[in-house]
Chain A
């Protein structure tokens, strides 16, 4: 791996590249823990099985020296700040390792006043990509095992982070699978689109993993858990599933950062990110909004302009 500052297109990304990021993260994490800039760092530790990584909150220098970054670091850690480890923010500033797509979630959460920039020390990763689901984890990232979302990534550079680890390197000539799939669905006749989604949604077992993993699904009580009155049937039946998926897509519209975590954790392989992307595309077309790396005043569905399009209204 060379250390050229401008972007560098390659056909495979070797373990050495990730090793260099790992070193940089460790150095930074150790430093900010030592000088007490932060009370802890949310990052990745090696998983118990080879080729895996697991999210962790490290609070000591010894632990920080074990932090890693590899293509197995798929998780979007920002979820640890709004949900699982929410309490940690109260104790002081927190460091967090963030890839570009994770930083979009952090920015969105700042927009929604769930996080404050000054409470975070963001260790950005100049991320070339992570593993897709069910692929061979060889240590080297190639076109064959890269995640679908990474094929169309526009945020390899984590701009706006406090420090950035890595040099800009990305895989060359990736086909935009998701965009192609979206175009394919759009081109279907309406009845076929319905059949396509009906089949997908009918498989949903309502495990709610997609909600639990989403940094933006931080509601104390989810609409879909309410039963008085019940808005969405809670058992995994076709009717409730359809409603759940439409509600989920609507609730994330204009907020979703596109980390595709919901799709990754879905045990039933439901292509949730296609819905997210379709909504993002619509909000871009209508209101010129795109989830970015920096917070904005208000999300697109929380603001309005007097001259917004109303051609569909009589």
Chain B
């Protein structure tokens, strides 16, 4: 039962932060059951969704992720009793912040996937991958990584595009990396 391999123009990078007790086991089950899901997803295992700091998500975006998934145990099933309840509030707040600064929340997915839900894991990952694929690469954070802020006077009427991008500076900067 081999799904036909379709070639796409764009293969999004998806980073999945998962808890070891439920979602990781669920993803494992999907694997041992030989279910097919996009290989775009890179799984990172944590003890608990409560351990997943919003800064990890930022870092993933900065380092090239086009989409991020955070997944853990269903409410009430947390191995540490309440880690996922705390995570739920924290990520609700974080979403509001990201949206306020202009990040498209369609690139960030949260889910509860239990150790028995191999099928749900496949669905969640496939849906996120395909959604991000249609959205295209996420340039915002990556661009920041490659930008330098040469000092200009605050509010001065300097044309920043020339200040930042004089050929000499660009060449010097490129030669560093």
Q: Main SS of the interface on chain B?
A: helix
Number of interface residues of B (CB under 8 A): 42
Decide if B140 is an interface residue (CB 8 Å cutoff).
yes
Q: Are B100 and A231 in contact (CB under 8 A)?
A: no
Complex Cα gap A194–B61 (Å): 14
CB contacts under 8 Å to A, within B87-116, are 88-105, 109-112
Report which of B85, B99, B112, B148 forms a contact with A308, defined as CB distance below 8 A.
Answer: B85
Among residues of A, the one whose C-beta sits closest to the C-beta of B92 is A286
Min CB distance A287 to B, Å, is: 7
Among residues of A, the one whose C-beta sits closest to the C-beta of B109 is A314
Q: Which of A16-24, A74-82, A211-219, A237-245 is the contact stretch? A: A237-245
Asked whether A186 and B100 contact (CB < 8 A) given A198-B144, A238-B144, A312-B92, the answer is yes
Q: Are B100 and A310 in contact (CB under 8 A)?
A: no
Complex Cα gap A300–B89 (Å): 8
- B82 CB contacts on chain A under 8 angstroms: 304
Q: Are B110 and A314 in contact (CB under 8 A)?
A: yes
- B54 CB contacts on chain A under 8 angstroms: 246-247, 250
Min CB distance A196 to B, Å, is: 7
Q: Are B95 and A253 in contact (CB under 8 A)?
A: no
Asked whether A242 and B141 contact (CB < 8 A) given A250-B94, A301-B89, A304-B85, the answer is yes
CB contacts under 8 Å to B, within A107-155, are none
Q: Are B102 and A190 in contact (CB under 8 A)?
A: yes
Q: How large is the interface on A (under 10, 10 to 19, 20 to 34, 35 or more residues)?
A: 35 or more
- A253 CB contacts on chain B under 8 angstroms: 93, 97
Decide if B58 is an interface residue (CB 8 Å cutoff).
yes
Decide if B172 is an interface residue (CB 8 Å cutoff).
no
Decide if B166 is an interface residue (CB 8 Å cutoff).
no
Min CB distance A239 to B, Å, is: 4
Complex Cα gap A19–B109 (Å): 56
Complex Cα gap A296–B46 (Å): 31
Decide if A83 is an interface residue (CB 8 Å cutoff).
no
Q: Main SS of the interface on chain A?
A: helix
Min CB distance B21 to A, Å, is: 17
Q: Are B102 and A304 in contact (CB under 8 A)?
A: no
CB contacts under 8 Å to B, within A261-278, are 268-269, 275, 278
- B149 CB contacts on chain A under 8 angstroms: 202-203, 236-238, 241
Q: Are B102 and A197 in contact (CB under 8 A)?
A: yes
Decide if A5 is an interface residue (CB 8 Å cutoff).
no
Q: Are B144 and A242 in contact (CB under 8 A)?
A: yes
B53-76 near A? 1/0 per residue, CB < 8 Å: 111001100100000000000011
Complex Cα gap A236–B124 (Å): 37
Min CB distance A258 to B, Å, is: 16
- A190 CB contacts on chain B under 8 angstroms: 99, 102-104
Min CB distance B71 to A, Å, is: 8
- B98 CB contacts on chain A under 8 angstroms: 246
Q: Are B93 and A312 in contact (CB under 8 A)?
A: no
Decide if B176 is an interface residue (CB 8 Å cutoff).
no
Complex Cα gap A290–B98 (Å): 21
Decide if A313 is an interface residue (CB 8 Å cutoff).
yes
Decide if B42 is an interface residue (CB 8 Å cutoff).
no
Asked whether A193 and B102 contact (CB < 8 A) given A203-B154, A313-B88, the answer is yes
- Can you identify 21 A-B contacts, CB atoms within 8 angstroms? A185-B100, A190-B103, A192-B102, A194-B102, A194-B103, A198-B144, A223-B55, A238-B149, A239-B144, A242-B144, A243-B58, A243-B59, A268-B154, A278-B100, A283-B93, A302-B86, A304-B82, A308-B88, A312-B91, A312-B110, A314-B112
Residues of A within 8 A of B (CB): 185-186, 188, 190-198, 202-203, 223, 231-232, 236-239, 241-243, 245-247, 249-250, 253-254, 268-269, 275, 278-279, 282-283, 286-287, 300-302, 304, 306, 308-310, 312-314
